[in-house]
């Protein structure tokens, strides 16, 4: 699908270049699936859209993400002080 195994590069259907997350991801990498939005991804991981955007400066328009695009999901402290970066209910 993309130019490499991380889903970065050219997406054939869109013919656009998709930027990889920059720097070191302090959390986990997530591959965008059909029907995902940053809002739904943020809810799934118990974080905010703004927290996702801070660690993914390659996302210029938060309303425009692509299937197969790889983004960083930041690790955030939980209520007991531990750090979590996994979907709730998993």
The answer to whether residue 80 scores a pLDDT higher than 90 is: no
Predicted local confidence at residue 78, as pLDDT:
65
Q: On the CB side of 57, how many CA atoms lie within 13 Å of its CA?
A: 3
Predicted local confidence at residue 76, as pLDDT:
75
From the number of C-beta atoms within 10 Å of its C-beta (0-12, 13-18, 19+), residue 67 rates as middle
Please give the Cα distance from 74 to 76 (Å, whole number). Answer: 6
Assigned CATH topology for domain 9-74: Membrane-bound Lytic Murein Transglycosylase D; Chain A (3.10.350)
| 9-66 residue pLDDT tens | 555 455 455 666 767 888 999 999 999 999 999 999 999 999 999 999 999 999 999 9
Where does the pLDDT of residue 81 fall: very low under 50, low under 70, confident under 90, or very high at 90 and above? low
Determine the number of helices (DSSP H) and then strands (DSSP E) in the chain: 2, 6
pTM of the shown model:
0.69
Domain boundaries, the chain: 9-74
């Amino acid at each position: 699908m993309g130019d490499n195994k991380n889903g970065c590069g050219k997406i054939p259907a869109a013919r656009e270049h998709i930027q990889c997350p920059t720097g070191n991801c302090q959390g986990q990498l997530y591959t965008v699936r059909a029907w995902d939005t940053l809002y739904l991804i943020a809810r799934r991981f118990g974080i905010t859209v703004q927290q996702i955007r801070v660690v993914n400066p390659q996302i210029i328009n938060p309303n425009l993400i692509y299937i197969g695009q790889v983004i960083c999901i930041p690790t955030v402290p939980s209520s007991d002080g531990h750090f979590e970066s996994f979907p709730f209910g998993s």
